[in-house]
Amino acid sequence: MAEHDAATRQNRPRLSLHVPEPLFRPGDKVDFTHLVIPHAGLQPRPDESCHPRETFALCTDLVRVLDDDHQAQGPWNPRLAPDQLRRILREMALIRAFDSRMYRLQRQGKTSFYLKCSGEEATSIAATHALDFEDMIFPSYRQQGCLIARGYPLVDMINQIFSNRADKLKGRQLPILYSAKSVNFFTISGNLATQLPQATGFAMASASRGDSKIAVGWVGEGSTAEGDFHSALLFAAVYNAPVIFNIVNNQWAISSFSGFAGAERATFAARAIGYGIAGLRVDGNDVLAVYAAQRWAADRARANAGPTLIEYFTFRAEGHSTSDDPTAYRSAQEGVEWPLGDPIARLRDHLIAIGEWSIAQHESMDGELDEQVKTATREAEKNGILGHGLHQPDRTMFEDVFEDQPWHLKEQAAQAVHERRVKYPDGDTA
């Protein structure tokens, strides 16, 4: 019998393990013709209160508004006023100028780390404009545009990046892991996808209290492979939570391409189908489409019609962070050849096409914004930069855990201050 089983196994075909491989590696010629980019304006727009199944076809389509002639087309056109479009354009240009300046400061040794959102500005700024100010934002680490869109001061952002004595987070977070209760911006966590169960929990609590606030979470496509992503969607589906899940599919999670998170099998928006919730797949570099999709999902949540999963199809134009060199794992031509273009350039060209903007105005704005960022940087540098000694007082490391500080922490705080005074008699030990 054993001999028969062995012979049978020998005749069976050998199994093989599939390991996803990106289409292009460094030095390869880039060809994105395999991507299906539908014409703008052809995608139907269901009613916000529709049954989730009416959105399932849109999970594999691509909602687009701006066409090749820079005109707005179709039922998803949000028909925003030119003044609002100019404001969104200005904020996207501001965050790009901010990113560029912070990147240079990291290279100068003034901070330890930075992470840009180049090419993805619309997915945070346009989306935030579609929300109410009271809606709670649960971001990942590339949503600095949400802070900009809600008017959070640049100086406070830079103080946090420097972890200096004016840092509102008291140096307890890595650079760019912001937290801003004043603009309903939840604390960023370095542990990816944790913000999604938190967003679902906030939404469930809001619904339980009969409140009007919804929750909105952002996550990269790579982080959808985390268990927290699926836990969040399950609870949101079961309890019909008023929450929006924004997946920013920028094609790369550090050096791993989206195939390792499942992109070879289906779109990320298609995961909504499995959970029975509404889903949309959207051109993430089309400001009007991003705004329209986010507003649709927000109106749906507020109407008690349930959660929505949105995949913003975009591209990370630069490295993952200041610690990353993308030329080591992907073709340098990918960003240049990306067929959906640049969100800032596309909105600029749309405004020009409808007679509401000009190249001269755009260049003047860029210069003005660069000066604005420089001014904010100089102001923040007065509070200290990396390795300067102008940090939070030592005693603060023992604070903000207990409402009433227990005796042993008081003793430890006093000891820490004493030891620092001995070691640095001329230093600031307040």
Query: What is the reported pLDDT for 421?
Result: 86
Q: How confident is the model at residue 397 (pLDDT cuts 50, 70, 90)?
A: confident
Lowest-confidence segment of 146-150, 205-209, 380-384, 414-418 by average pLDDT = 414-418
Contact predicate 100/107, CB 8 Å: no
Q: What is the pLDDT of residues 78-120, one digit of tens each?
A: 999 999 999 999 999 999 999 999 999 999 999 999 999 999 9
Amino acid at 327: T
pLDDT for residue 341:
97
**Burial profile 194-229: b = 16 or more Cβ within 10 angstroms, e = fewer:** bbbbbbbbbbbebbeeeeebbbbbbbbbbbbebebb
Catalytic residues: 316, 320, 329
pLDDT of res. 174:
93
pLDDT mean across residues, the chain:
95
Mean pLDDT of 3-7: 66
Question: pLDDT class for 4, splitting at 50, 70, 90?
Answer: low
Q: How far is CA 104 from the centre of its chain?
A: 21
pLDDT-derived band of residue 10, with 50, 70 and 90 as boundaries?
Answer: confident
295, two tokens: 């507003």
pLDDT tens-digit readout, 36-53:
999 999 999 999 999 999
What class does CATH assign to 52-381?
alpha beta
Q: What is the band of 417 on the pLDDT scale with cuts at 50, 70, 90?
A: confident
The string of pLDDT tens digits covering residues 272-330 is 999 999 999 999 999 999 999 999 999 999 999 999 999 999 999 999 999 999 999 99
pLDDT tens across 221-261, in order?
999 999 999 999 999 999 999 999 999 999 999 899 999 99
| Residue 8 confidence (pLDDT) | 66
With pLDDT > 70 as the criterion, what percentage of the chain qualifies?
A: 97
- What is the arithmetic mean of pLDDT over 181-200? 96
Ranges of H-type helices in 220-342: 227-238, 271-275, 287-302, 334-337
The pTM assigned to this predicted structure is 0.94
The mean per-residue pLDDT over the stretch 347-367 comes to 98
- At 215 the three-state DSSP class reads strand
Q: What's the pLDDT score for residue 426?
A: 74
Q: What is the pLDDT of residue 7?
A: 64
Beta strands in 237-377 (DSSP E): 243-249, 252-253, 256-257, 278-283, 308-313
CA distance 287 to 237: 28
Residues 334-344: tens digit of each pLDDT: 999 999 999 99
pLDDT recorded at residue 394 = 79
pLDDT at 396: 86
Confidence class of residue 30 from pLDDT cuts 50, 70 and 90?
A: very high
pLDDT of residue 114: 97
For residues 418 and 77, which has the higher predicted lDDT (pLDDT)? 77
Q: What pLDDT does 388 receive?
A: 85
Q: How far apart are CA 408 and CA 355, in angstroms?
A: 68
